[in-house]
Amino acid sequence: MLVDRLCERYGESVATAKGRFYAVPSVAAIAKDPEIEATFRGLGFGYRAAYYAKSVQMLCAEHPDPDAFLDGLRALPADRARAELLRLSGVGPKVADCVCLMSLDNPATVPIDTHMWQVAQRRYVPRILDGSLPDVPSAAVALARQLRSARAPTSATYEAAQQLFVHLFGP
């Protein structure tokens, strides 16, 4: 597993009654490696190695304590946390939303992947527009109209699909 390899390479060794483990390393500990990208590639991170290396370097350049900055994202409103995550190399809307949902305690965040997109398009948009889905808020109807002809998510339709789910199911 990549996380295990990362921890073993950069983390502090921790001896326990069940064996030796490695702590999750700090961003600063990783940044000390002059060949971060090459090390990440060697650990099996593939094409993402360059993104991770750039993100580590950016975090260290912009924040005296990058780990405190990342921890502090939890206290921000979801839209601000998402905006900060989107600044990281290789992080797009879906990844930022996954982090907001699963790591930053923002349960109203809805990551839209291929499957969620298809659920919206096949299950909800047609039923909202033909009136067969009861008690639909007017905002959801407007979003369904916007999504009706979209074939794939764009920035605008990604946001519309997110909001459609929030209007249908609440935060």
pLDDT tens, position by position, 21-80? 999 999 999 999 999 999 999 999 999 999 999 999 999 999 999 999 999 999 999 999
Condensed to tens digits (0 to 9), the pLDDT of residues 99-132 reads 999 999 998 899 999 999 999 999 999 999 999 9
Q: Which of 18, 32, 54, 94 is catalytic?
A: 94
Contacts made by residues 3-9, CB under 8 angstroms, sequence distance 24+: 5/43, 5/44, 6/43, 9/39, 9/43
Q: What is the pLDDT of residue 155?
A: 87
Q: What is the pLDDT of residue 24?
A: 96
Q: Tell me the whole-structure pTM to 2 decimals.
A: 0.85
Q: What is the pLDDT of residue 54?
A: 97
Q: What is the pLDDT of residue 91?
A: 96
- Indicate if 32 belongs to the active site: no
Model confidence at 171: pLDDT above 80:
no
